[in-house]
Amino acid sequence: MQGAVQLNILQFSLIYLLLIIVLIIMKRSKINQSKFLLVASIRMTVQLVLAGLILTYIFKNPHPIFVILYLTAMTVFSIGRVLGKNKGVNQNFKIAVGLSLALSGLFVLAFFVLAVVGENIFNPQYTIPLAGMIMGNSMTGVTLGLKTFTDSIKTQRNKIDALLNLGVTPKKILIPYVNNALETALLPTMNSMIGMGIVSLPGMMTGQILSGTLPTTAIMYQIAIMIAICTAVCLTVFCSLHFGYKTLYNKRNQIIY
């Protein structure tokens, strides 16, 4: 098998012509998100080009400090993104979310690189791309789970107050909302796993095949990373919510909204 065809600037630029189709459909459907689409496309391009330049330098000059700095930046950005989408939670809840996202993601990443792949954790070729997939999906999962939990608490406030007045403990009241939020956060990942291989060929597998990797090897990597992603999402959301919900009530069993 040959490696992926190298694209020149002209070939690469042609892909942006497809955005014209999206813009036409948006205008015809009276969807006022054209500016957002353009900004998102430009921001994506700039961010990925910068990431590509940084990774090229790191791969050519591999050093543990570069991997640590990249993982730190990735983790900090993920935490900031999640908390930025859920500004209503208290400070202790935010700490629980941040620690859960960082520790769960890094734990799954370390297990994958060290045990499954059998490489050094400071090998940027494996650690950085795998970290991106694991942390990115964990970020999305915990954002969805946290939003589901907080929205449920807000909409069910009268019911919660009534149960408190009847003497039901905050733990018994909040746990069902925690479990529901966890289920909601896991559904996108599990739905993706169900359709994978038949409905879609996932990005990691496609990328490896294009680079010349044997399909059987690419398949094994893809199965492994999907299980790792599912575990990371589950662990991150579970820890975030189970440690976080306990910050919502005091020793007198009063829920603090």
- The set of residues, in sequence order, having a beta carbon less than 8 Å from that of 112 and lying 6+ positions away, is 130, 134, 224, 225, 228
CB 144, CB 185: distance < 8 Å: yes
Percent of the chain topping pLDDT 90? 65
Residue 198's pLDDT is: 67
pLDDT digits (tens, 9 = 90+) for 218-233: 888 888 989 999 999 9
Residues contacting residue 93 through CB under 8 Å, at least 6 positions apart: 244, 247, 248
Question: How high is the pLDDT of residue 2?
Answer: 56
pLDDT digits (tens, 9 = 90+) for 139-187: 999 999 999 999 999 999 999 989 988 889 999 999 999 999 999 999 9
pLDDT at 223: 87
Q: What is the pLDDT of residue 254?
A: 78
Pick the more confident residue, 138 or 164. Answer: 138
pLDDT band at 76 (very low <50, low <70, confident <90, very high): very high
Burial of 26 (0-12, 13-18, 19+ CB in 10 A): middle
In angstroms, the CA 80 to CA 60 distance is: 30
Look at the block and give the residue holding tokens 């954002």.
Answer: 143
pLDDT, tens only, 179-202? 999 999 999 999 888 877 666 666
List the domain boundaries for the chain: 1-61, 74-248
